[in-house]
Amino acid sequence: MAQDFLLKLVQQRLDDFCDDKRSELVEISEELEPIIDYTKSLLAGGKRFRALFCFWAWAGYQDSEVDPRNLKLDDPIIGIAAALEMFHAAALVHDDLIDQSDTRRGETAVHKKFENLHKTHKFAGSAERFGVAGSILVGDLMLSWSSELFGDALLHFHDEVIEKACREEFGKMRFEVMAGQYLDVLEENAAPTRQPGEAVARANKVMLYKTAKYSLEAPLLIGSALGGGGKNQRLGLSAFGIPLGLAFQLRDDLLGVFGDPAVTGKPAGDDLREGKRTVLIGLTLESIPTPVARTFEELLTSGAIDQEQLSFMLETIEESGALAKTERLILEHSKKSIEALASLEISNQGRKELAYLADAVINRSK
């Protein structure tokens, strides 16, 4: 399949880059090798939505249909797609640490891998602090490497206007996702001091900046900029990408609470144990009686929920109507996104492939 060839190229670019970095790290010290081992492990999986949305937005502004099988490893779009995946992986490392999530895609999270390394070798000091330090440094390195991949991709691109637009969109993405991440952390800690009626609006803002813009809008805009799409085309892509990104995150919120651990790679109810302040939780809290809300809030902030308490929370969410409301919101955002795609100035191939990806986002199970 042509798209499989594209993803193999992106993976090959990431693998080659990591192999180069392994040589550089080992030259300093062989004890640095776990850094690249954990990086490569994380980069080997995932849905690759960011790379795919970026690629098809780029392809949508080419003069003729694009066959991914005609691409080469050193084509700028491959390097940029790889840079987006590296950036995403860096964000996951930091996100798992912030949320104290022990698993990622069914495997041990990076901070836990460093913690286990400490325990295996019987190092002195705190294994937990070692894990924290290691994952911060790996995440930081991967952020730096994403910029290096991005810069390398544009190194021989001889159009200053296009290059400037790409760099601006990439820079804006990095800025906005960090702002959204802080708002997320803030909300998890400050939510109990807020008015219950503010919860949904605050969760929506976090969702917009932490996920919707970074996961879908930014890759679309970067791909379009590289393909020569103008400002009006990028505005149209925002109208498509933002509501789709909101639907993406709302689906993620449902999976984080009700998803099958065997499919999601995360423990059941993981988002509740992490105290995440999602739209789903906001809708729940504003719809239940005050005494029940108080109990729900206490469990959400406790950081430790047993199976009986988890069952109570899941039942409360369903009975409050929040689950059904969230499903309706996903449909509303999805409809808005598909309508924007229909009126977008883009090639037929680009529209078709983006529609296929939108369906995969909306109806995913993990």
Q: For residue 160, give the nearest of 218, 209, 90, 228 by alpha carbon.
A: 228
Q: How far from 200 is each of 130, 176, 206, 220, 326, CA to CA, in Å?
A: 36, 20, 10, 27, 11
CB 83 within 8 A of CB 149: yes
pLDDT (tens digit, 9 = 90+) per residue, 213-229?
999 999 999 999 999 99
Residue at 44: amino acid letter = A
Distance between CA atoms of residues 233 and 345, nearest Å: 6
Per the structure block, which two tokens stand in for 66? 């694009």
List the chain residues with pLDDT less than 50.
none
The pLDDT value given to residue 90: 97
In SS3 terms, the chain reads as CHHHHHHHHHHHHHHHHHHHHHHHHHHHCHHHHHHHHHHHHHHCCCCCHHHHHHHHHHHCCCCCCCCHHHCCCCCHHHHHHHHHHHHHHHHHHHHHHHHCCCEECCEECHHHHHHHHHHHCCCCCCHHHHHHHHHHHHHHHHHHHHHHHHHHHHCCCCCHHHHHHHHHHHHHHHHHHHHHHHHHHHHHHHHHHCCHHHHHHHHHHHHHHHHHHHHHHHHHHHHHHHHCCCHHHHHHHHHHHHHHHHHHHHHHHHHHHHCCHHHHCCCCCHHHHCCCCCHHHHHHHCCCCHHHHHHHHHHHHHCCCCHHHHHHHHHHHHHHCHHHHHHHHHHHHHHHHHHHHHCCCCCHHHHHHHHHHHHHHHCCCC
The number of angstroms, rounded, from the C-alpha of 314 to the middle of its chain's C-alpha atoms is 25
The pLDDT value given to residue 352: 96
Q: How far from 216 is each of 111, 132, 135, CA to CA, in Å?
A: 27, 29, 25
Q: For residue 38, give the nearest of 130, 122, 114 by alpha carbon.
A: 114
Please tell us whether the domain made up of 159-366 is placed in CATH 3.30.930.10. no
The number of angstroms, rounded, from the C-alpha of 219 to the middle of its chain's C-alpha atoms is 11
Domain with CATH 1.10.600.10 in the chain: 1-158, 159-366
Residue at 326: amino acid letter = T
CB 225 within 8 A of CB 159: no
The pLDDT value given to residue 323: 95
Q: First CA to last CA across the chain, in angstroms?
A: 22
The pLDDT value given to residue 3: 84
**Phi, psi at 107, each rounded to 5°:** -115, 170
The pLDDT value given to residue 266: 75
Which residue, chain included where needed, has tokens 């929040």?
322
The pLDDT value given to residue 119: 97
The CATH code that applies to domain 1-158 is 1.10.600.10
Q: For residue 6, give the nearest of 88, 96, 99, 77 by alpha carbon.
A: 77
